[in-house]
Amino acid sequence: MNISLIDIEENMPDQIIGNDFFGEEEIRRRNRMFSGTSERRHLRKGELASDYFGVAAKNLMERLNLDPAKDIDLILTNVSLPDEAFTGCGAVVSKKIGARTKHIIDMHNTGCVSFLYLLDVAKTYMLAKKVNSAIICLAQTAAGRIFGQEDTRQLAQAAIPGDGFAVAYVTSSDERPILSMEFETYPENSEDMRGNTGDKKWWEARETTGSIDFNENKTAMIVARGNKAVPGMIKKVCENLDMKTTDINYLITNQPNLNFLRNWREATQLTKDQHLDTFDKYANLFGAGIPVTLAESIKNKTIMPGDMVCLAGFSHACDYSAGALIQWT
């Protein structure tokens, strides 16, 4: 039995943030890890991931002529900075779109490759014959909520995140099959990227917003890991189908920065035109990067019927990596 990615819809905040918002460009020139984008989107104060998911899901349902009360068996979500401290937003999404699913999972880990991990969770439920369909909701919300604040936007890393949302509809069918998936976990790297809130824990009262702990030694290690892990995932999913990486029509990865994008396509012998991204206008979308770029590439007809599309990436300091091949039929 295959799991098929039937359709996908992106939904982006309307607040466009230019580079001048972040102060001196020289700060970013000195650290190329955090440079290379012209614009990004930020959530406004008070906006919720569940609202963006609701709009995207309703657009999907209307386009596919589906009844959310009958045609959604499972809701899966991943939100980088959740709307609420204790609860995920899956049940709220179900309420806002009028779904009646009894299976809801709000997953907080796997970061930039959470879309692929959630596809695998959906497939597991389908193989167990618990569900026949699911919506997968991905959100990056940390840009406006963390790096849009007065005490953080001068940091070099502040310019690289952008906010964005995507919702995908998947079923247990052969309509648009995911032909190959591979995953890897690296627990030895799991503590190499942390939140930085000074001498306070993130849940303790403080006067500063906080940021992500990046130093030069960690940056060098993360770059080396990512440059190895992502091409490795791409090659694995191709080998499962007796393909070469050059047989891929299009590659979509997470988009940390331009250096990673260049290194990955060179390692897999793909051209710049084959490696699709939305980095210049949306910046690093973390977990939303792969599905947002996929949705836009389908809408603008870059990806056409018959194309073999590879999705791949790594998360955080490379504690997870994943890859998938989809036949867009």
pLDDT single digits (tens) 168-200: 999 999 999 999 999 999 999 999 888 889 889
Average pLDDT of the segment spanning 52-81: 97
* Backbone phi, psi, residue 187, to 5°: -60, -25
Q: Quick one: pLDDT band at residue 36, thresholds 50, 70, 90?
A: confident
Structural tokens at position 162: 């952008």
Whole-number pLDDT of residue 182: 98
A 10 A CB-CB count for 183 gives: 16
Which residues sit opposite 276 in a β-bridge? 252
CB burial of residue 67 (10 Å; 0-12, 13-18, 19+) = exposed
Whole-number pLDDT of residue 221: 87
CB burial of residue 205 (10 Å; 0-12, 13-18, 19+) = exposed
CA distance 157 to 1: 43
Name the average pLDDT for the chain: 93
Q: Quick one: pLDDT band at residue 24, thresholds 50, 70, 90?
A: low
CB burial of residue 127 (10 Å; 0-12, 13-18, 19+) = exposed
Whole-model pTM?
0.95
What pLDDT, in 10s, does the model give residues 110-122? 999 999 999 999 9
User: Residue 272 in 3-state DSSP?
Assistant: coil
Average pLDDT of the segment spanning 262-280: 97
Residue 269's nearest CA partner among 238, 295, 293, 300 is 238
CA distance 11 to 96: 16
pLDDT exceeds 80 at position 155: yes
The dihedral built from the CA positions of residue 6, 247, 323 and 194, taken in this order, carries a sign that is negative
Structural tokens at position 261: 């994008």
Could you give the count of Cα atoms lying within 13 Å of 94 in the half-sphere of its Cβ? 22
Hey, what domains does the chain have and what are their CATH numbers? 4-174 (3.40.47.10), 179-328 (3.40.47.10)
Whole-number pLDDT of residue 2: 85
